[in-house]
Amino acid sequence: MRMAVLGAGAWGTAFAKLLVDAGHDVALCARDAALAASIGRERRNPRYLPGVVLPSALRTTADPAEAVAAADVVLLAVPAQHLRASLTGWAPLLPPEAALVSLAKGIELGTCKRMSEVITEVSGRPLAQVAVVSGPNLAPEIAAEHPAASVVACVDSDRAAWLQTAFQTPYFRPYSNTDIVGCELGGAVKNVIALAAGMAEGMGFGDNTKASLLTRGLAEMARLGAALGAEPGTFAGLAGLGDLVATCGSPLSRNRVLGERLGRGETLAEAVADSRGTAEGCRPAGRCWRSLSGSECRCRSPRVWCGSATGGSGRGRWSRR
């Protein structure tokens, strides 16, 4: 099967490797022509996945038209806040029957739309042609072929099952789900909870605090999801609890690490200055979720927001008493 991954960050690169390992013809498209050439020549992506050797069969390019030509599946691996602008340029190039798969976990600032909503709006494709991948999938671990599982969600159950089979490798076990709303919300909301878990770690709080954050955070995620049309049970699975545990507990999680630095007293600008990736749980997502939980679905909102925790000024205002 022919597949294209648009976006050569850590997750896009890791997923492109996974797809080659699954036996597909894969093109990885980087925005930076120099990076694309370097990956193709060196078989490594030192900027985002240092130390990982990429398959020789992986094709690389900086030309999205070349990448998506005749593709059966196009995977969108750009940060949530850049998806609309990127897809606007890519949409005319996409094969009409290709499945469009979002690898991003976040909510669009300003519109509060999920990634599948952005994709259908910009591409003009029906929702049944769009899928999302969500679960405990830290890119360096997937690239290192550590055993992991995930969820492929699509409202078309046949397409979800087809993609589930297509993405499977000896080390990566996808499950299919038709609750695309729940899977996307789980992947986005856990980023905010992970910031709080990192803050607790940075401030020196113990496991009781972090366990309380995760447990109550999960309950509030499920309430928010149900109010927005998701199945509450989705949040007890890989796209909810699984992703939450990995993101809140791992030093590989950008959101957790950012929260930890804020908890130690760094400003937001200081904390993000040397980050190689995007922490989707930061202020944009926090503002969107505050809007969703307060004005639209009328449910009790999550207790911890990045905007509140930084006091709007970029410096943590919690104190350890």
Catalytic residues: 190
Amino acid present at 238:
L
Minimal CA–CA distance to 179: which of 137, 136, 240, 220? Answer: 240
Q: What sign does the CA torsion over 19, 25, 31, 36 have? A: positive
241 backbone dihedrals φ, ψ, rounded to 5°: -60, -45
Round to whole Å and give the CA distance between 309 and 321.
Answer: 16
Residue 152 neighbours by CB under 8 Å, 6+ apart? 101, 131, 132, 133, 160, 163, 164, 167, 174, 175, 176, 177
CA 134 to chain centre: 7
Q: Could you give the strand order of the β-sheet that contains 73-76, starting from the edge strand earlier in sequence?
A: 59-61, 25-29, 2-6, 73-76, 99-102, 130-134, 148-153, 172-177
Tokens of residue 227, six digits:
């109010």
First to last CA, the chain: 58
Round to whole Å and give the CA distance between 41 and 33.
Answer: 12
- Residue whose entry in the numeric block shows the structure tokens 């909870």: 193
- Cβ atoms of 77 and 10 within 8 Å: the answer is no
Give the per-residue SS3 of 90-133.
Answer: HHHHCCCCCEEEECCCCECCCCCCEHHHHHHHHHCCCHHHEEEE
- Cβ atoms of 72 and 57 within 8 Å: the answer is no
- Cβ atoms of 115 and 153 within 8 Å: the answer is no
- Cβ atoms of 129 and 96 within 8 Å: the answer is no
